[in-house]
């Protein structure tokens, strides 16, 4: 079932409220964080709402899904910079509790193993936020990635590099590779919210609906997860049959 919302602002409202509820019930919640355009209105609403409620975020722990190889945390297009810009610079976040893969790690393979292990040392992810690429990737797990993968280095597909070129200056080169948490790391999360907005995501959502679980469409692995919600706006839902769309905005439970 796909949970359909009228627009991105109602999705932001809903996901932000879900995050706030989680943090209230478990201040040291371990959040799996995503970046990208989909998350921007959600983080903006969360910052606003957390501020209004004077929510204590000092115990919150987060692990980001991915980072570009070669970009240090100070690079303006790194995901570390994205997280500071959209979240960490607000509300007294404690940076030592917020983790991202290091795109400039000396030994990338070793770093990946350590990153997956660190997530587990913290008790695993309680709530994982996910966007989805137009080719079905989650994190940067491109089509063909093994379902049992852990954190690893990935060569980005041409499609993903073109999609993400909108975040870079006109003639800048989008990095060719990235570190990403693996599909098994994602599936280990206790709860998952996948959010897809805009008409560019409509074809891949239709593919998700029409296909069985297949490594060719990485996010189909989520069909095996016991606690996942797919949250979609009307534009992204435009190719889905009504029979699989739930339009009631129920209270977050």
The answer to whether residue 66 is catalytic is: yes
Is 57:93 a contact under the CB 8 Å cutoff? yes
Q: Which two tokens stand for residue 7?
A: 């627009």
Smallest separation, CB 139 to ligand F6R (Å): 5
Distance CA 72, CA 179 (A): 12
Q: Applying CB under 6 A, does 136 fall inside the site for ligand F6R?
A: no
Ranked by CB distance to ligand F6R, the top (closest) residue is 131
Cβ burial of 25 (10 Å; 0-12, 13-18, 19+) is exposed
Site string for ligand F6R, 150-189 (x = CB under 6 A): ----------------------------------------
Distance CA 184, CA 146 (A): 9
Q: Applying CB under 6 A, does 138 fall inside the site for ligand F6R?
A: yes
Annotated catalytic residue, options 135, 152, 188, 233: 135
136's CB contacts (< 8 A; 6+ apart) are 143, 204, 207, 208, 216, 217, 218, 219, 220
Q: Applying CB under 6 A, does 15 fall inside the site for ligand F6R?
A: no
Smallest separation, CB 98 to ligand F6R (Å): 14
Residues of the shown chain interacting with ligand F6R in the complex, contacts defined by CB under 6 A:
34-38, 65-66, 131-133, 137-139
Residues noted as catalytic? 66, 135, 137, 142
């Amino acid at each position: 079932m796909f949970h359909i919302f009228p627009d991105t602002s109602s999705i932001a409202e809903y996901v932000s409220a879900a995050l706030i509820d989680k943090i209230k019930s478990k201040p040291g919640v371990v959040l799996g964080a995503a970046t990208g355009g989909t998350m921007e209105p959600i983080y903006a609403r969360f910052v606003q709402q957390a501020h209004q409620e004077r929510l204590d975020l000092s115990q919150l722990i987060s692990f980001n899904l991915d980072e570009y190889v070669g970009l240090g945390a100070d690079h303006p297009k790194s995901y570390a910079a994205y997280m500071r810009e959209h979240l960490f610079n607000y509300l007294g976040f404690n940076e030592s509790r917020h983790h991202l893969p290091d795109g400039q790690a000396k030994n990338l393979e070793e770093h990946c193993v350590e990153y997956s292990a660190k997530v587990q040392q913290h008790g695993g992810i309680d709530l994982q936020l996910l966007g989805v690429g137009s080719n079905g990737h989650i994190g940067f797990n491109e089509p063909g990635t093994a379902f049992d993968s852990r954190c690893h280095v990935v060569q980005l597909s041409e499609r993903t590099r073109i999609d993400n070129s909108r975040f870079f200056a006109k003639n800048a080169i989008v990095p060719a590779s990235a570190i990403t948490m693996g599909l098994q790391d994602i599936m280990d999360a206790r709860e998952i919210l996948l959010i897809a907005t805009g008409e560019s995501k409509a074809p891949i959502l239709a593919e998700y609906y029409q296909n069985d679980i297949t490594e060719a469409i990485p996010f189909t692995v989520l069909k095996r997860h016991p606690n996942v919600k797919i949250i979609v706006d009307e534009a992204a839902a435009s190719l889905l049959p009504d029979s699989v769309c739930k339009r009631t905005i129920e209270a977050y439970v």
